[in-house]
């Protein structure tokens, strides 16, 4: 018997308590089933079918985000940016999905704080680890991957979440600023991905690059940053073609303005709370949806692209910007 569009209330009289709790756990995160086959214990026309069946025997074996390498932002001269709200938000969101996480950044104390937050969110000790490292260092990139594989035995998803920005016009940008943005935003992620590809081929995993609206829309006063993100978007599309024959998907999320620390670092004019609030008020008017983004917006988009729900999506540049990329250049092209 197949019950179409079941609700938790309708299922309760007919399904075992154990399965009922699992169904409620999924709907807690907005992952309800369109149909449910109570005799086979599996939902039809839904990718949770195999997850649910395998979960009855082994809660880990069918997890769509079974193991995840999630890296935080790294910036020379500043703290490791896993404490950035966006990076931290990603880690917390995936911990609620019971992914296995390897977190990396430059500051081990900050990493441990995020690890503890993930554990408080319900992630078991055995499902999370961290390794300090500088993403621009080849030795550290090797160490990060080696630690992940030694800990979890495989790699299913790589989230490239490094990023730094300097507000500077072309004429004012120094060689050091240019090199830093290219090294952190592009070069380091290219070579980390290069090293991860053999493991992703084994698992037919996928990659999600965190880019920016600036990769697709020209903006004044952040030329080098726009260039670095445009390079990541092109990398996403080229790599999607390269890895498609191996069943490995590659996508990118391109956020608009998101509440985080990236615009409040040492070089920024928005370090004071009052100045940052004014900045956000201005940015709110540039997003047609009427608000700026929050870390959860980006984390949910990453989780979707990393999941089997997106199994036919690759080479996609996904804007997460409240339709800002759709408006006129007069609105889009200002970052201040």
Q: Concatenate the DSSP letters of all residues of 101-138 into one string.
A: EEEEES-HHHHHHHHHHHHHTT--GGGEEEEE--TT-H
Question: What is the enclosing helix (H) or strand (E) of 236?
Answer: helix 223-243
Residue 306's alpha-carbon distances to 35, 59, 64, 205, in angstroms, are 23, 19, 8, 8
What whole-number distance in Å separates Cα of residue 54 and Cα of residue 267? 50
Looking up tokens 């390079």 gives 231
Beta sheet of 157-160, edge-to-edge order:
128-132, 100-105, 67-71, 157-160, 206-210, 249-255, 317-320
Q: Of the listed 199, 225, 270, 276, which one is catalytic?
A: 225
Q: Concatenate the DSSP letters of all residues of 261-310 into one string.
A: STTSSTT-S--SHHHHHHHHHHHHHHSTTSS-B-HHHHHHHHHHHHSGGG
Assess whether 225 carries a catalytic annotation: yes
- Coil, strand or helix at 51: helix
User: What 8-state DSSP symbol labels residue 162?
Assistant: -
Of 335, 132, 130, 135, nearest to 223 (Cα)? 335
Taking the mean position of all CA atoms in its chain, how far away is CA 144?
17
Of 224, 222, 251, nearest to 235 (Cα)? 251
Q: Is residue 324 within 8 Å of residue 286, measured between CB atoms?
A: yes
What whole-number distance in Å separates Cα of residue 221 and Cα of residue 291? 23
Q: Which residues are designated catalytic?
A: 225
């Amino acid at each position: 018997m197949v019950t179409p569009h079941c609700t938790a209330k309708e299922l309760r009289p007919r399904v075992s308590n154990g399965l009922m709790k699992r169904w409620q756990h999924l709907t807690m995160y907005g992952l309800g089933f369109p149909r449910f086959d109570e005799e086979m214990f599996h939902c039809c026309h839904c990718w949770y079918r195999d997850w649910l069946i395998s979960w009855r025997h082994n809660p880990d074996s069918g997890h769509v985000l079974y193991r995840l390498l999630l890296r935080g932002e790294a910036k020379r001269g500043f703290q490791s940016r896993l404490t950035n709200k966006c990076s931290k938000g990603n880690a917390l969101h995936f911990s609620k999905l019971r992914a296995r996480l390897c977190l990396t950044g430059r500051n081990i104390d900050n990493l441990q704080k995020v690890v503890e937050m993930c554990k408080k969110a319900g992630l078991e000790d055995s499902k999370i680890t961290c390794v300090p490292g500088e993403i621009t260092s080849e030795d550290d990139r090797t160490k990060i991957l080696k630690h992940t594989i030694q800990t979890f035995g495989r790699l299913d998803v790589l989230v490239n979440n490094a990023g730094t920005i300097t507000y500077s016009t072309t004429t004012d940008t120094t060689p050091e600023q240019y090199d830093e943005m290219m090294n952190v935003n592009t070069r380091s992620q290219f070579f980390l991905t290069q090293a991860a590809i053999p493991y992703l081929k084994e698992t037919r995993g996928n990659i999600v690059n965190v880019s920016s609206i600036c990769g697709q829309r020209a903006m004044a006063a952040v030329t080098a940053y726009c260039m670095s993100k445009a390079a990541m978007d092109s990398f996403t599309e080229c790599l999607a073609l390269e890895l498609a024959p191996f069943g490995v998907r590659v996508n990118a999320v391109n956020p608009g303005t998101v509440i985080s620390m990236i615009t409040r670092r040492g070089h920024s004019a928005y370090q004071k709370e009052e100045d940052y609030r004014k900045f956000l008020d201005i940015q709110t008017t540039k997003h047609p949806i009427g608000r700026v983004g929050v870390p959860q917006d980006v984390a949910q988009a990453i989780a979707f692209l990393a999941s089997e729900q997106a199994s036919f999506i690759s080479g996609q540049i996904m804007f997460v910007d409240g339709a800002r990329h759709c408006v006129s250049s007069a609105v889009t092209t200002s970052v201040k």
